[in-house]
């Protein structure tokens, strides 16, 4: 008798290679036949084949079924359904898809046109940036004629040849995987899954059976599967063709020996790579030290090639028609993936323009790296640590590069999932040690296992539960599985010898649980000492506050715990008794509920009264509106997803802790969530100063009005006032086109109202030599003052300042001082003082 499970497909990007390989890993061990059926597309697949699963063309929200038939169908059913309702949702990560500039909104800066830009090609930006180098063309793969017409040997020999080749490729991939991190590792894993796919092997076997060589069989099998994928409705699935071709290429290389497929060209100087299609393997084979840009004919925003290009930060254009035949190999080209163009003919003027552009981009990159590396200090000098939540060791490196000041939560569940047995102490130690090393002395909080009915792991037999969130999970199973827990504690304590590691226990609801966990922790310490194994001493032991009852026994918990971290996701749902996955009650789930804020205040005040360190991890930390309240609570740290860190640090630097405390007081007095939300949205955002020394440039070497306006706009961009300089430049020119803003006496006031400004801004450019500006007195301009106003700014205050400045600049004494002053800080001070007088 078969078992059937019906469900709505949950993942936003559909069933692509990565989630399919997770599902395949889960079902692989069962003997029952497991069929995946998509009722929208009408396709079915063997769930043990990644390719077949991907071929069902399953998209988000499709009605799907899984049918289990065979001896262990009941076990398979419970395992798979548990997986689908739990960790499956985490198998996929949302893709950061850059909004491509569509051709009609393509604005080429007037300064670039004036510099002599003539021949260029357009494309869609897939990874921003500018690169320059010699063109290298990689042609598409075609099976050489000699191999295409070759006669097959005995089928047994061809089968054997294929198996040897497949094993060799697998070996290569596994070797690369050992050295790879993050995105690169994920792509290699997906390739390994494709290689192991039974559907692919079956197809090759069938082809060999019908008299083909292993080479021809592989080519045919790859093509057959690629054809299925190309017809998929999801662009994401269509883009998996590249991955498949990559595997094919690697196999053919092993089967045909050298010359069987084109080798990646050896790069010896900065290069821009042109290709109609580029597989992830081809990209990985290139020497990345020299790759300055990619120009591709076809490659979607979510293809693995593009994901890799982004993780390496290679400026990339896609959708460039006839990409591979645009250029002669060896010619010098510039890829500008910010503007969405590739320039094949570089005039002296264009070269000069891009020299400045590169210098500016370098300044911006240095500034951002500098800012991300700085600790978060608020306006009144108060500190709050901004840390990252991670779930694998690989993410730590990226998190620190993105500005994390520590790891606030390392969820260790992933180390335990998708395995037939628990990871041993050594394997765990390697992971924890890698994070501590990546942290380089910054604090790392690692949370011990939080598995249970909602996050099943195969080697722990949890009984099925009606309500896993209120069930046997977290610290609740520690007494029964003390050996497992102690192994984790030992691995953690050993890693703590390498740097400041803190250990945190999840789901504590009562003091007994805290005591039990602490006892196991102390025992693990004693065991290590007895065995003479190096480990950290005085390692802080902390508790995660996510069950409301813990908030009311904080005094007692302080006896066991050195620190706390509030897990707002679970705490909110337990406190408000609302599951946010349930659309009927999701609106009740809100961390801005005044009751919840009062709970938070009680927790933080309780911890602080006992001198305990307290942080907060959970999505509330990412909510820009809620962040001032978190500062107001007096938390020592907030921990959030790494990509949000840079923006959060910038936002926090604008706050003053005292204002936040006052805001929290008001919020705590609110009666409803809406009142809190209103209070937060009415909060005045502190204005950025109109002018700073960074916005003043002295002795600027420009020859034309176009260059000078661009230089002024560059000041705005470097100061972080705009991310669309090409649009601001155009807006300024539209104003200049009415009539020149050179009003005589060597001064000009170019200006614009723009929707692309972060704040109202003045920029001052003092030119080395006078520039023809079309001024009313015909005199060259020596000083340009750029006035940039936000298009949506209806506040009169700033307009008044600009009006005042306009009156000032026609006064002789102001003009004379402006001309004479050469120090940016003094000039800034003078202008701001004059404006306020």
Residues designated catalytic: 16, 304, 617, 751
767 contacts: CB under 8 Å, gap ≥ 6: 700, 701, 702, 708, 781, 782, 783, 784
Nearest distance from C-beta of residue 782 to other proteins, angstroms? 17
- Nearest Cα residue to 84 out of 142, 38, 23, 41: 23
Question: Is residue 410 close enough to count as binding other proteins by CB under 8 A?
Answer: no
Q: In this chain, which stretch among 150-158, 176-184, 541-549, 733-741 interacts with other proteins, using CB under 8 A?
A: 733-741
Between 528 and 716, CB nearer to other proteins: 716
Between 235 and 799, CB nearer to other proteins: 799
Q: In this chain, which stretch among 22-30, 429-437, 505-513, 750-758 interacts with other proteins, using CB under 8 A?
A: 750-758
Counting every residue written for the chain, the total comes to: 837
Question: Is residue 741 close enough to count as binding other proteins by CB under 8 A?
Answer: yes
Question: Is residue 732 close enough to count as binding other proteins by CB under 8 A?
Answer: no
Q: Residue 583: exposed, middle, or buried by beta-carbon count in 10 A (0-12, 13-18, 19+)? A: exposed
The C-alpha angle with vertex 243 and arms to 242 and 245, in degrees rounded to 5, equals 65
Identified binder of other proteins from the candidate list 739, 833, 836, 837, rule CB under 8 A: 739
Q: For the residues of 296-360, what is the DSSP string, one character each?
A: ESS--TTSHHHHHHHHHT--EEE--TTGGGSS-TT-EEEEETTTTEEESS--HHHHHHHHHHHHH
What is the C-alpha separation between 759 and 689, in angstroms, rounded? Answer: 8
| Structure tokens given for 77 | 């059913």
Q: In this chain, which stretch among 177-185, 503-511, 714-722, 747-755 interacts with other proteins, using CB under 8 A?
A: 747-755
Between 83 and 802, CB nearer to other proteins: 802
Identified binder of other proteins from the candidate list 269, 777, 820, 837, rule CB under 8 A: 777
Q: In this chain, which stretch among 33-41, 273-281, 385-393, 748-756 interacts with other proteins, using CB under 8 A?
A: 748-756
Nearest distance from C-beta of residue 822 to other proteins, angstroms? 24
Nearest distance from C-beta of residue 60 to other proteins, angstroms? 47
Question: Is residue 806 close enough to count as binding other proteins by CB under 8 A?
Answer: yes
Contact between residue 787 and residue 802 where contact means Cβ atoms under 8 Å apart: yes
Between 24 and 736, CB nearer to other proteins: 736
What is the C-alpha separation between 234 and 16, in angstroms, rounded? Answer: 9
Nearest distance from C-beta of residue 791 to other proteins, angstroms? 11
Q: In this chain, which stretch among 133-141, 209-217, 249-257, 809-817 interacts with other proteins, using CB under 8 A?
A: 809-817
Nearest distance from C-beta of residue 725 to other proteins, angstroms? 20
Contact between residue 341 and residue 121 where contact means Cβ atoms under 8 Å apart: yes
Contact between residue 491 and residue 415 where contact means Cβ atoms under 8 Å apart: no
DSSP H/E element including 529 = helix 511-531
Nearest distance from C-beta of residue 799 to other proteins, angstroms? 5
Identified binder of other proteins from the candidate list 196, 367, 735, 815, rule CB under 8 A: 735
Helix ranges restricted to H, 180-267: 182-195, 198-209, 214-230, 235-238, 241-256
Question: Is residue 776 close enough to count as binding other proteins by CB under 8 A?
Answer: yes
Question: Is residue 744 close enough to count as binding other proteins by CB under 8 A?
Answer: yes
Identified binder of other proteins from the candidate list 749, 762, 771, 831, rule CB under 8 A: 749
Contact between residue 175 and residue 192 where contact means Cβ atoms under 8 Å apart: no
Angle, helix 657-669 to helix 673-681, in steps of 10 degrees: 150
Q: In this chain, which stretch among 609-617, 630-638, 681-689, 807-815 interacts with other proteins, using CB under 8 A?
A: 807-815
Nearest distance from C-beta of residue 735 to other proteins, angstroms? 6
Q: In this chain, which stretch among 113-121, 620-628, 661-669, 804-812 interacts with other proteins, using CB under 8 A?
A: 804-812
Nearest distance from C-beta of residue 745 to other proteins, angstroms? 10
Between 699 and 737, CB nearer to other proteins: 737
What is the C-alpha separation between 309 and 805, in angstroms, rounded? Answer: 47
Question: Is residue 811 close enough to count as binding other proteins by CB under 8 A?
Answer: yes
Total of chain residues touching other proteins, rule CB under 8 A: 25
Binding mask 542-571 for other proteins (x = CB under 8 A): ------------------------------
Question: Is residue 810 close enough to count as binding other proteins by CB under 8 A?
Answer: yes
Contact between residue 731 and residue 712 where contact means Cβ atoms under 8 Å apart: no
Q: For the residues of 78-126, what is the DSSP string, one character each?
A: HHHHHHHHTGGGGSS-------PPPGGG----HHHHHTT---EEE-EEE
Quick one: DSSP state of residue 366?
H
Question: Is residue 738 close enough to count as binding other proteins by CB under 8 A?
Answer: yes
Between 320 and 785, CB nearer to other proteins: 785
Between 154 and 812, CB nearer to other proteins: 812
Identified binder of other proteins from the candidate list 196, 518, 753, 817, rule CB under 8 A: 753
Between 382 and 753, CB nearer to other proteins: 753
What is the C-alpha separation between 564 and 553, in angstroms, rounded? Answer: 13
- Nearest Cα residue to 716 out of 731, 701, 704, 702: 731
Between 727 and 787, CB nearer to other proteins: 787
What is the C-alpha separation between 304 and 246, in angstroms, rounded? Answer: 11
Question: Is residue 807 close enough to count as binding other proteins by CB under 8 A?
Answer: yes
What is the C-alpha separation between 506 and 478, in angstroms, rounded? Answer: 11
Contact between residue 70 and residue 33 where contact means Cβ atoms under 8 Å apart: yes
Identified binder of other proteins from the candidate list 121, 751, 782, 790, rule CB under 8 A: 751
Strand partners, 427: none
Question: Is residue 809 close enough to count as binding other proteins by CB under 8 A?
Answer: yes
Question: Is residue 476 close enough to count as binding other proteins by CB under 8 A?
Answer: no
Beta strand spans in 484-612 (E):
501-505, 541-545, 563-567
Nearest distance from C-beta of residue 734 to other proteins, angstroms? 10
Q: Beta strand pairing status for 696-700 and 761-771?
A: parallel
Binding mask 784-803 for other proteins (x = CB under 8 A): ---x-x------x--xx-xx
Q: In this chain, which stretch among 53-61, 213-221, 640-648, 743-751 interacts with other proteins, using CB under 8 A?
A: 743-751
Question: Is residue 804 close enough to count as binding other proteins by CB under 8 A?
Answer: yes
Nearest distance from C-beta of residue 740 to other proteins, angstroms? 9
Between 567 and 742, CB nearer to other proteins: 742
What is the C-alpha separation between 668 and 675, in angstroms, rounded? Answer: 10
Q: In this chain, which stretch among 372-380, 499-507, 571-579, 745-753 interacts with other proteins, using CB under 8 A?
A: 745-753
Nearest distance from C-beta of residue 370 to other proteins, angstroms? 33
Beta strand spans in 745-797 (E):
747-748, 751-754, 761-771, 781-790
Question: Is residue 743 close enough to count as binding other proteins by CB under 8 A?
Answer: yes
Nearest distance from C-beta of residue 749 to other proteins, angstroms? 5
What is the C-alpha separation between 564 and 119, in angstroms, rounded? Answer: 61
Nearest distance from C-beta of residue 730 to other proteins, angstroms? 15
What is the C-alpha separation between 830 and 821, in angstroms, rounded? Answer: 9
What is the C-alpha separation between 34 and 340, in angstroms, rounded? Answer: 46
| Residues near other proteins, by CB under 8 A | 735, 738-739, 741, 743-744, 749, 751-753, 776-777, 787, 789, 796, 799-800, 802-804, 806-807, 809-811
């Amino acid at each position: 008798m078969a078992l059937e499970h019906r469900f709505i497909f949950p993942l936003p990007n559909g069933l692509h290679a990565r989630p399919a390989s997770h599902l395949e890993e889960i079902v692989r061990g069962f003997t029952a036949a497991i069929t995946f059926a998509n009722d929208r597309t009408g396709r079915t697949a063997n769930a043990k084949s990644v390719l077949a699963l991907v071929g069902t063309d399953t998209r988000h929200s499709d009605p799907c079924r899984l049918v289990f038939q065979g001896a262990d169908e009941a076990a398979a059913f419970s395992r798979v359904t548990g997986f689908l309702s739990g960790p499956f949702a985490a198998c996929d990560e949302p893709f950061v898809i850059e909004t491509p500039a569509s051709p009609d909104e393509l604005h080429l800066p007037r300064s670039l046109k004036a510099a002599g830009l003539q021949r260029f090609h357009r494309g869609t930006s897939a990874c921003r940036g500018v690169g320059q180098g010699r063109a290298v063309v990689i042609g598409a793969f075609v099976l050489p004629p000699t191999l295409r017409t070759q006669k097959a040997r005995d089928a047994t020999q061809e089968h054997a040849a294929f198996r040897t080749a497949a094993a060799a490729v697998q070996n290569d991939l596994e070797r690369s995987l050992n050295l790879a991190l993050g995105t690169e590792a994920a792509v290699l894993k997906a390739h390994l899954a494709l290689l192991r796919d039974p559907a692919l092997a079956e197809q090759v076997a069938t082809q060999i059976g019908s008299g083909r060589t292993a080479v021809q069989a592989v080519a045919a099998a790859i093509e057959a599967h690629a054809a299925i994928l190309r017809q998929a409705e999801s662009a994401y699935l269509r883009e998996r063709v590249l991955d498949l071709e990559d595997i094919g290429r690697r196999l053919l290389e092993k089967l045909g020996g050298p010359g069987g497929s084109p080798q990646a060209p050896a790069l010896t100087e900065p290069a821009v790579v042109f290709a109609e299609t580029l597989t992830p393997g081809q990209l990985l084979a290139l020497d990345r030290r020299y790759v300055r840009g990619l120009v591709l004919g076809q490659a979607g925003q979510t293809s693995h090639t593009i994901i890799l290009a982004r993780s390496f930060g290679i400026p990339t254009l896609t959708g460039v028609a006839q990409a591979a035949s645009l250029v002669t190999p060896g010619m010098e080209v510039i890829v500008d993936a910010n503007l969405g163009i590739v320039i094949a003919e570089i005039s002296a003027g264009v070269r000069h323009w891009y020299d400045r552009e590169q210098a500016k981009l370098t300044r911006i990159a240095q500034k951002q790296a500098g800012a991300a590396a700085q600790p978060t200090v608020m306006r009144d000098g108060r500190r709050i640590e901004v840390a990252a939540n991670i779930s694998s060791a690989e993410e730590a490196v990226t998190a620190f590069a993105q500005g994390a000041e520590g790891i606030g939560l390392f969820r260790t569940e992933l180390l335990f999932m998708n395995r037939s047995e628990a990871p041993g102490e050594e394997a765990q130690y390697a992971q924890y040690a890698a994070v501590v090393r990546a942290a380089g002395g910054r604090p790392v909080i690692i949370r011990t296992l939080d598995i249970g009915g909602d996050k099943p792991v195969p080697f722990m037999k949890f009984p099925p539960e009606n309500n896993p969130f209120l069930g046997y999970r977290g610290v609740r199973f520690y007494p029964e599985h003390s050996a497992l827990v102690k192994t984790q504690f030992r691995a953690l304590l050993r890693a703590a010898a390498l740097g400041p590691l803190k250990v945190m226990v999840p789901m504590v609801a009562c003091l007994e649980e805290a005591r039990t966990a602490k006892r196991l922790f102390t025992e693990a310490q004693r065991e290590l000492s007895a065995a003479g194994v190096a480990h950290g001493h005085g390692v802080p032991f902390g508790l995660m506050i996510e069950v409301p009852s813990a908030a009311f026994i904080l005094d007692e918990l302080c006896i066991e715990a050195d620190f706390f971290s509030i897990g707002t996701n679970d705490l909110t749902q337990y406190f408000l008794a609302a599951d946010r996955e349930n659309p009927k009650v999701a609106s009740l789930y809100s961390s801005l509920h005044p009751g919840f804020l009062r709970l938070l205040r009680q927790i933080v005040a309780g911890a602080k009264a006992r001198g305990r360190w307290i942080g907060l991890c959970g999505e509330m930390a990412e909510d820009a509106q809620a962040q001032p309240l978190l500062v107001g609570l007096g938390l020592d740290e907030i921990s959030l997803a790494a990509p949000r860190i840079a923006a959060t640090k910038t936002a926090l630097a604008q706050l003053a802790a005292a204002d936040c405390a006052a805001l929290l007081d008001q919020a705590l007095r609110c009666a409803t969530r809406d009142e809190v939300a209103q209070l937060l949205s009415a909060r005045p955002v502190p204005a950025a100063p109109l002018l700073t020394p960074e916005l003043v440039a002295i002795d600027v070497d420009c020859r034309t009005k176009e260059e000078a306006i661009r230089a002024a706009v560059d000041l705005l961009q470097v100061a972080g006032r705009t991310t669309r300089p090409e649009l601001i430049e155009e807006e300024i020119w539209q104003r200049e086109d009415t009539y020149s803003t050179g009003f005589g006496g060597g001064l000009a006031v170019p200006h614009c109202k723009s929707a692309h400004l972060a704040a109202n801004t003045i920029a001052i450019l003092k030119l080395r030599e006078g520039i023809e500006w079309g001024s009313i007195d015909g005199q060259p301009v020596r000083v340009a003052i750029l006035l940039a106003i936000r298009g949506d700014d209806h506040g009169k205050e700033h307009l008044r300042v600009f009006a005042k400045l306009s009156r000032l600049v026609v006064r002789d004494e102001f003009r004379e001082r402006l001309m004479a002053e050469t120090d940016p800080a003094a000039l800034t001070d003078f202008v701001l003082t004059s404006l306020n007088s």
